Amino acid sequence: MADVIVIGAGVVGLSSALALQARGLSVTVLDREGPAAGASAGNAGAFAFTDILPLASPGLLRKAPRWLMDPLGPLSVPPAYAARIAPWMYRFWRACHPSRVAASTAAQTALMDLSKEELEPFLAATGTLPMLRRDGNLQVYESAGELAASQPGWDARAAHGIAFTHMTAEEMAGIQPGLSPCFTHGTFTPGWHSIADPKLYVLALAERFRAQGGVIALANVTELRADADHVQVGFHRAAHAVIAAGAFSHRLAALTGDRIPLETERGYNTTLPPGAFDLRTQVTFGGHGFVVSALSTGIRVGGAVELGGLALPPNYARAAAMLDKAATFLPGLKTEGGTQWMGFRPSLPDSLPAIGRARTSPRVIHAFGHGHLGLTQSVGTARLVADLVTGAPPAVDLAPFSPQRF
Tell me, what CATH number does 253's domain have?
Answer: 3.50.50.60
265 pairs with which residues across the strands?
Answer: 307, 345
Q: Pick out the chain residues at pLDDT < 50.
A: none
Q: What number of CA atoms fall less than 13 Å from residue 76's CA on the CB side? A: 24
Query: For residue 78, is it within any domain?
Result: no
Query: For residue 355, is it within any domain?
Result: yes
CB 31 within 8 A of CB 20: no
Query: For residue 22, is it within any domain?
Result: yes
Structural domains in the chain (count): 1
**What pLDDT does residue 53 have?**
87
pLDDT digit string (tens) for 173-197?
999 999 999 999 999 999 999 999 9
**What pLDDT does residue 68 have?**
66
**What pLDDT does residue 276 have?**
98
Closest CA to 92 of 399, 370, 351: 351
**What pLDDT does residue 56 have?**
76
Closest CA to 201 of 67, 376, 27, 367: 376
Query: For residue 76, is it within any domain?
Result: no
Query: For residue 81, is it within any domain?
Result: no
**What pLDDT does residue 69 have?**
64
Distance CA 249, CA 241 (A): 13
Query: For residue 237, is it within any domain?
Result: yes
Distance CA 197, CA 199 (A): 6
Query: For residue 229, is it within any domain?
Result: yes
**What pLDDT does residue 304 have?**
82
Query: For residue 253, is it within any domain?
Result: yes
Residue 386 lies in domain:
1-52+97-132+194-262+349-406
Secondary structure (DSSP) of 211-255: HTT-EEEE-----EEE-SS-EEETTEEEEEEEE--GGGHHHHHHT
